[in-house]
Structure 1
Amino acid sequence: MTSSTWAGFHAAEPEFATTVQSRFERYKHHVLATLRKDGSPRVTGLEVAFRSGELWLGMMPDSRKAQDLERDPRFAVHANPGPDDSMDGGDVRISGRVLEVTDPAEIAAFVAEVGPPEPFHLFRVELGEVVRTSVEGQELVVQSWNPGGSLRTVRRR
């Protein structure tokens, strides 16, 4: 599976990346999907951080979602849909793999910038797919991007 950093995605599709990031930054809490040891899905809440050209996931020590990601780095994160059904900004999700950051200097830099309470697990995201679904007039619009490709848009009535 080809992957990309957030900076790589932003360089390839700056307008789409800005739209997706804005949608995630609108709310603090989002929904993370990981895989349990038996392969079944686990869905939990979390916060995301966009810093230094990367998308970061942080979580409490020894949380089930952190254990899932340490065992199997595949994930999907879905932006908080918000308090109403307007789909303002669209429905946005990102999937890919994570790399756990264990280097003390990298963790210290993240703490200095973001300020989460320690200790915590820190994961750097490698993007595999970014999708935004929105309604424009009478059309459902699905935009998707994968590393190495260009932005694809499908419109349906």
Structure 2
Amino acid sequence: MATWAEFTAEQPEMAAFVESRFAADRHALLATLRKDGSPRISGVEPDFTRGEVWAGMMLNSLKSKDLRRDPRFALHCMTTTASMTEAGDAKISGTAEFWTDKETYLDELFERTEWRPKPEEIDLFRFDVTEVVQLVVEGDGMVVLSWHEGRGTHRVVKK
């Protein structure tokens, strides 16, 4: 798995685009796998900091239980229009690591946002990435740029 910093070093322009899409609306959609293997979609607010992607969630929430049981995830930015002509679209997939040493992250979060949840009230995950996808509309086509760990990027234009 690649850290966000490793991905950014390899694909700085794509990383900047993806971060900007997630920053445009802090709320994103997180896909996890339930105990029976079926998908679950939940809201989450990803945080890109210190070369990592993080997400805090309610203590023992269903999405947290899903990730602790099966760390695979997919994260999708909020898309504001169906046509995607305004800003584009971004997705990240990989694995989540349950993080028990929350203090450093929470201290830094407070420095940046002046908000600090109590450590005992949240579950914290750090996300490693295996796939990043950027979609933009150019002219009458959609350009899909996808990066896969170990394979680099692939560009497809769909008309």
Tell me whether the two structures share a fold, i.e. TM-score over 0.5: yes
Amino acid at match of 1:81: T
CA displacement, residues 18-70 of structure 1 (integer Å, 9 cap, x when unaligned): 01011101101110100000111110101000110000111010100000000
Give 1:140 deviation, angstroms: 1.2
Percent sequence identity over aligned pairs: 46
Give 1:85 deviation, angstroms: 3.4
DSSP-derived class of the 1:4 partner: coil
Q: Residues of 1 paired with 2:128 and 2:70: CA distance?
A: 13
CA displacement, residues 48-103 of structure 1 (integer Å, 9 cap, x when unaligned): 00110000111010100000000000010110112x33512212111110111112
Task: Give 2:113's aligned residue.
Answer: none
Q: Residues of 1 paired with 2:63 and 2:82: CA distance?
A: 28
Q: Residues of 1 paired with 2:26 and 2:104: CA distance?
A: 21
Q: Residues of 2 paired with 1:11 and 1:27: CA distance?
A: 24
Q: Which runs of 5+ in 1 are unaligned?
A: none
Task: Give 1:155's aligned residue.
Answer: 157
Q: Residues of 2 paired with 1:126 and 1:152: CA distance?
A: 20
Q: Residues of 2 paired with 1:156 and 1:39: CA distance?
A: 31
Pick the aligned partner of 2:10 from 12, 36, 39. 12
Amino acid at match of 1:96: G
Alpha-carbon RMSD? 1.1
Q: Which runs of 5+ in 2 are unaligned?
A: 111-115
Pick the aligned partner of 1:61 from 59, 71, 85. 59
Moved over 2 A (4+): none
Task: Give 2:74's aligned residue.
Answer: 76
Q: Residues of 2 paired with 1:11 and 1:143: CA distance?
A: 17
- What is the aligned residue count? 151
DSSP-derived class of the 1:92 partner: strand
Q: Residues of 1 paired with 2:35 and 2:83: CA distance?
A: 37
